[in-house]
Amino acid sequence: MTTMYVPRDAAACSVGAEEVAQAIARAASARGDRIDIVRNGSRGMFWLEPLVEVATPQGRIAYGPVAPEDVASLFDAGFHTGAAHRLCLGPTEEIAYLKKQERLTFARVGVTDPLNLSEYEAHGGLRGLRAALGMSSRDIVEEVVRSGLRGRGGAAFPCGIKWRTVLGAEARPKYIVCNADEGDAGTFSDRMIMEGDPFVLFEGMAIAGIAVGAAKGYIYLRSEYPDAERTLALAIAAARQASLLGNDVLGSGRAFDLEVRRGAGAYICGEETALLESLEGKRGMVRPKPPLPALEGLFGQPTVVNNVITLASVPIILDKGAKYYADYGMGRSQGTLPFQLAGNVKRGGLVEKAFGITLRELLYDYGGGSASGRPIRAVQVGGPLGAYLPESRFDTPLDYEAFAAAGGMIGHGGVIAFDDTVDMAQMARYAMEFCAIESCGKCTPCRIGSRRGVEVIDHIRAGRKPAANLALLRDLCDTMTYGSLCAMGGLTPAPVVSALDHFPEDFGVSPAKKVS
């Protein structure tokens, strides 16, 4: 019996992985070959998807990108024994893109069957939870504090400090809410975890629950992730069956269970307080802070709200210790981050590396430069509210503080590249338009300011009173930055002002750039 791996990840399926799996099954049965097809997560090398792997005595051999019509020639070549073929990429683990990564959170993604709990355990799963079950709540929280883990959803707030606040709150019940809204364009790390290794998220949430005294968790899932929803439902059933979830977590006598709630399809529902409103069945409007959700969150109760990657990074910390995790990274940015390379790059995908790697390394060593073959002119890091950075900033290390000092924001780790045909005035307009569409409407600087922002940029682009309108645009950005209730309106000026500062020629401020 030969084991073959064909991803069921949504990105792989979008380029035909399902059809490839069926073609392999048909070809094998027609030839009388006995094969076992495991539907794994994606390895995160999207230009190679559908990536088929074959288990051989020498390890897993990769073939890709495989189309259904390649399957016959693959069998003819003997690929079920790992034989040579024009699509053969050699041992998967030796592919440079993968080999140079530091996969802690993504250690099992693409490696194991996402729904097989015994395989999860055989690859290091449940060790963190078992360790946590033998510790006091305070010790768990302090271990997470010492690891330096900061929120991976955007704001980079220290995870352990948030947990400490919830642990100290007296009200009962308490809740764990996993923010799986993943609204930033070009990001997909949350989805890849949920589809590729859902148990690591459950384990992280159970550890959080045991640490702060919460027996109930919710995963607020982006509505555009139906594949993740299916995988989560199957994984929850398997986890309950094996007592990873339920009234008696791993036989400890402690309870922790969770439910998935589908999001409302709005970017603002990723903001934690709007998310809580939505989870309570209301329209996703931002709540003023204080009170902090840690003290008065879901249904007014103490609540941990953490991103998927934050929670999925916890099990390895409890398993290997805070120091092991904190030894990765630099400065106050400890551990690793799964960067997501998208936009105009040759090799888009997921790159988990310790903090400190530079944008240039990500864009060129991993991304292989632009897909169009033209120079990369601008990069937006940290989602639609992140600044646009020019080439002169590509050597800044990706560390929260160093990056902020260079005018950027790491956020959820999305990296979107643009070549030299991009019109940055159009991108600035897009940022304002995005805010106008996605604003929750609660405060004036954001609701009205973003609409006026679109108009002012239109005037500038049309050459109407450019000097006066440029001054007005900066003034408006100032008002939005300092007068908005949340980071939606507060950060929308970041892409606009960075486009103005770094690419003034696109606004007609200096001679227009030449594009050959």
Q: Residue 439 touches which of ligand SF4, ligand FMN, none (CB < 5 to 8 A by kind)? A: ligand SF4
Q: Is residue 148 at the binding interface for ligand FMN, with CB under 6 A as the rule?
A: no
Give the 3-state secondary structure of residue 246: strand
Return left, alpha or beta for 464; rule: phi > 0 is left, psi -120 to 50 is alpha, else beta.
beta
Q: How far apart are the first and last CA of the chain?
A: 56
The answer to whether residue 487 forms part of the interface with ligand FMN (CB under 6 A) is: yes
Distance between CA atoms of residues 182 and 243, nearest Å: 28
Q: Which is nearer to ligand FMN, 272 or 277 (CB)?
A: 272
DSSP conformation letters of 115-132: T-HHHHHHTTTTHHHHHH
Q: Are the beta carbons of 24 and 52 closer than 8 angstroms?
A: yes
Binding of ligand SF4 by 286 (CB under 6 A): yes
Of the residues 378, 486, 491, 499, which one makes contact with ligand SF4 according to CB under 6 A: 486
Residues 225-284 close enough to bind ligand SF4 by CB under 6 A: 268
Extended strands (E) in 45-204: 52-56, 59-63, 88-91, 175-180
Q: What is the DSSP letter of 105?
A: T
Choices 100-108, 318-326, 407-415, 438-446; region in contact with ligand SF4 by CB under 6 A: 438-446
Which range in 112-120, 305-313, 358-366, 493-501 contacts ligand FMN by CB under 6 A?
305-313
CA angle 112-118-124, nearest 5°?
65
- Answer for which of 278, 307, 396, 439 binds ligand SF4 (CB under 6 A) is 439
Q: CB of residue 311 vs ligand FMN: minimum separation in angstroms?
A: 7
Closest contact distance (angstroms) between CB of 331 and ligand FMN is: 18
DSSP code at position 516:
-
Q: Which stretch binds ligand FMN (CB under 6 A): 36-44, 265-273, 365-373, 388-396?
A: 265-273
**How many Å apart are CA 388 and CA 502, to the nearest integer?**
8
Q: Does 287 bind ligand SF4 (CB under 6 A)?
A: no
Residue in 42, 310, 333, 498 binding ligand FMN, rule: CB under 6 A? 310
From the CB of 285, what's the least distance to ligand SF4, in Å? 7
241 φψ region: left (φ > 0), alpha (ψ -120 to 50), beta (else): alpha
Cis peptide bond prior to 375, omega within 30° of 0? no
Asked if 191 interacts with ligand FMN (CB under 6 A), we say: no
Looking at residues 160 to 189 of the shown chain, list those that interact with ligand FMN (rule: CB under 6 A): 179, 181-183
- Residue 209 main-chain phi, psi, to 5 deg: -60, -45
**154 touches 383 (CB < 8 A):** yes
Examine residue 488 and tell whether it contacts ligand SF4 (CB under 6 A). yes
Contacting positions for ligand FMN (CB under 6 A): 151-155, 157, 179, 181-183, 267-268, 270-272, 305-307, 310, 486-488
Contacting positions for ligand SF4 (CB under 6 A): 268, 286, 439-443, 446-447, 484-486, 488-489
